[in-house]
Amino acid sequence: MFHRIVAPIVLVASLAWHAPGAAWASTPAAEAPSAEHEVRLYDTSDLPADADLNALSVFMPLSMEPLTSSLTLVSASSEDHERLRVILTQVRALTPARVSVVATLHLAPDVSGVVVGAPAPAAVLAAPVERRVHHVGPRRTELALRSLEAVSYVKDLTPIVSNNVAAFARSVETSPNGLTLSVTVGDASDGASPVTVRGELASTSIIERRRVESLDGVASGPDQIDLLEVAHRTLNASLRARDGAPVVAAIVDAPGREGQSLVLTIAVAPAP
C-alpha cells in the first residue's frame, strides 16, 4: 500500500540494470525490468493514505517499489507510464481536499440577537469557553469531534452480612458528560462551505451524596448513594461557513445555570 503521487522524474534506465537481484515490485511474480521499460520516480505524498498502487498492476504490467515513505519507483513501458499519469491525475481530482474544523462551546449570559446559521457575534466569541474540539479530515466525509468524559457515581448499595460483619456493596456506574459531534464539510463555493452538524451535548452532575447508615434493617454505615442531574441536548444544523469565520451552529440552555446559554460555534479552514 502506498501513500501519494506527483510529476514523475525519469531516471536513466540503464543505470538501474546494474543492480542485479533488486526487488522491483511489491506485487507477486515481479521480474527485473525489461529493456523496453523505463524506471521513473514518483512523488506519492499527495495521494490518499489508503491508495493502493499495486491494484493498477491488474490492468497494466507495472513493477513498483517504495523508495521512501513519499517516493515510489515504477518500472513500466513509456505507454504504461502515460496511462499511470492519467490515472493519478484523476485520483487527485477526485480526492477530497482536507479541511480543519473547530467546534467551540461558549457559555453566554445573553443570546439575544444570536441566530443559528449566522456569523457568531463578538460577544459570543468573547464569552467563556466550556469546550473546544479541533479535527482535520477530508471534505465530504463525516468527521467525529468529541470532548467527552465519563462521570462515575454510586447508583445503589446492597447490604451484605458475612461472618456477622455487615457491609454495603457499591453498584458504581458511569454517565457521559460532554460534546459528541459529527460534522461534514462540503466543497467550498463562492467563498463558503456547506456544513452539516449532528450530535449531542450531555451534562451529568452529582447534585447530592446521600449518606446511608442502614439499608433493609442492616446497619453498616456510613456510605453514600449519589443523586444525579442528567441532561441531553440534541444538536442539528445545516449552515454555510466562510473560512476562519465562526458560525453559530446551536443555542441551548445551560443545565444547572439558570439564565445562561451554551452557544456552539463551528469554524472551518483549508488544512495544509
Q: What is the pLDDT of residues 124-145, one digit of tens each?
A: 999 999 999 999 999 999 999 9
pLDDT for 34 equals: 53
**In the chain, domain spans:** 9-94, 98-270
Mean pLDDT value across residues 111-131: 95
Full-model pTM: 0.67
Mean pLDDT value across residues 138-153: 94
pLDDT for 54 equals: 81
Locate the DSSP E strands across 89-217. 98-108, 129-138, 142-162, 165-185, 192-215
pLDDT for 10 equals: 40
| Among 232, 227, 271, 268, CA closest to 253 | 232
Mean pLDDT value across residues 55-70: 87
Is 243 a residue whose pLDDT tops 60? Answer: yes
